[in-house]
Amino acid sequence: MKKLFLFNIFVIFFITLFCSLGTWQLYRLQWKQDLISQISEGLKSTPIKYSQNISKNYQRVTLVGKYEFKNQIYLYSLNNKGQPGFDVITPFETVSKENVLVNRGWIKKELKNKLDLNASSKNITGMLKHANRKNLFTPDNDIDKNIWFSINLKDVQKITGKKFNKFIVYLEDQNINTPKPKKITIDVPNNHLKYAITWYSISISILFFYLYFRKKK
């Protein structure tokens, strides 16, 4: 009797677990569809003059000002082929004295700190995007060696002496090869429905096996 009770608890636990995982994937599916919609809308938008008051993710903007290369940040990143390197994140001060971080693109590891990476452009166009958040598996930034794994705004303020908001401008000029600007597209992985179906299918399979076992008993 005790074994049967424990078996029932075991089955209920895993059915509940896998159903919860399936439901979580459906929430992730909705989030991903909203994200794709935001990106699609942003790609079609007309660039507007940058302001720190803009709070719309994936809004295209234009900026006039100057880069501050002395505080350039090298953010560890993989390119679209999975090759390790760095995103070059450069502080930019607009003519209206607003500060913003610009992701100028990806470089190979060996190009880090090369002076010929510095660009003289004072007029740029890009897309606003939230800085990626640090998670439990993200290493701490090595500020002394200028190797970053996340954009921590407190760390950025520490090295620049300036405050920045949560948005980064991703440079759009695809004619630049080094650093190579990262092209933002709607082509993002979206397998959440497949995962949800998988988890629900496992739950149903466990239920069928359980009912079959009880019937045999």
Residue 161 falls in which region: left (phi positive, over 0), alpha (psi -120 to 50) or beta = left
| Rounded Cα distance, 94 and 41, in Å | 26
CA-derived radius of gyration, the chain: 24
C-alpha distances in angstroms, 167 versus 33, 101, 151, 183, 215? 21, 8, 10, 16, 59
Q: So what's the pLDDT on residue 196?
A: 94
Beta-bridge partners for 142: 147
**pLDDT, one tens digit for every residue, the chain (217 residues):** 667 777 788 888 999 999 999 999 999 999 999 889 888 888 888 899 998 888 888 999 999 999 888 899 999 998 878 889 999 999 999 999 999 999 999 998 888 877 666 666 788 899 999 888 788 888 888 888 999 999 988 889 999 999 898 899 999 876 777 788 888 888 888 899 999 999 999 999 999 888 887 776 6
| Rounded Cα distance, 103 and 152, in Å | 14
Three-class secondary structure of residue 19 per DSSP: helix
Listed in sequence order, the residues at least 6 apart from 131 whose beta carbon sits closer than 8 Å to its beta carbon are 101, 150, 151, 153, 166, 167, 168
| Rounded Cα distance, 193 and 23, in Å | 10
Q: So what's the pLDDT on residue 1?
A: 66
| Rounded Cα distance, 72 and 52, in Å | 20
Domain extent listing, the chain:
2-35+192-216, 47-171
As a dihedral over the C-alpha atoms of residue 122, residue 77, residue 131, residue 114, rounded to 10 degrees, the angle is: -30
The widest CA-to-CA distance across the chain, in whole angstroms, is 80
Beta-bridge partners for 67: 92
Other CB atoms within a 10 A radius of the CB of residue 35 amount to 15
